Amino acid sequence: MLDEILKARNDAGLTQAEVAERIGTTQSAVARLESSLGKHSPSISTLKRYASALGYKIQVRLVKEPDPTSRPTRTRAKATRAD
């Protein structure tokens, strides 16, 4: 996600200071956010504000993983009788 955030800021042509001004924080706070992703987990609210300042939105999805113990079900083809 860090790569996407940095690319988005770069694509928007904004400095850390400009992003900070848009979200109401300091440049050093933005620098910490950008450098700590992967080490610390910023709140979803913070990520939403950052993304919004760049013209993006954050999408969080909950996706069920397949159960590794279940076996796929097979359907048997019906046998046809020849008369």
Query: Would you say the pTM of this structure is higher than 0.95?
Result: no
Q: Is residue 80 part of a domain?
A: no
Query: Rounded to an integer, what distance in angstroms lies between the CA atom of residue 24 and that of residue 22?
Result: 6
Per-residue confidence (pLDDT) for residue 79, from 0 to 100: 61
Domain encompassing residue 33: 2-53
Residue 75 lies in a domain: no
Cβ-contact 55, 14 below 8 angstroms: no
Give the chain's domain count: 1
Name residue, tokens 């904004």: 14
Q: What is the CATH number of the domain that holds 30?
A: 1.10.260.40
> Is 73 inside a domain boundary?
no
Q: Which residue has the higher pLDDT, 68 or 32?
A: 32
Query: CB–CB of 55/12 below 8 Å?
Result: yes
32 within some domain: yes
What's the pLDDT at 14? 96
Within a domain: residue 45? yes
pLDDT digits (tens, 9 = 90+) for 33-67: 888 766 778 888 999 999 999 999 999 889 999 88
Mean pLDDT, all residues of the chain = 86
Nearest residue to 46 (alpha-carbon basis) of 76, 20, 66, 82:
20
Q: What's the pLDDT band for 9 if we cut at 50, 70, 90?
A: very high
Q: How far apart are CA 71 and CA 61, in angstroms?
A: 25
Give domain status of residue 48, yes or no: yes
Greater confidence (40 vs 17) lies with 17
Would you say residue 39 lies in a domain?
A: yes
pLDDT of residue 21: 97
Answer whether residue 59 is part of any domain.
no
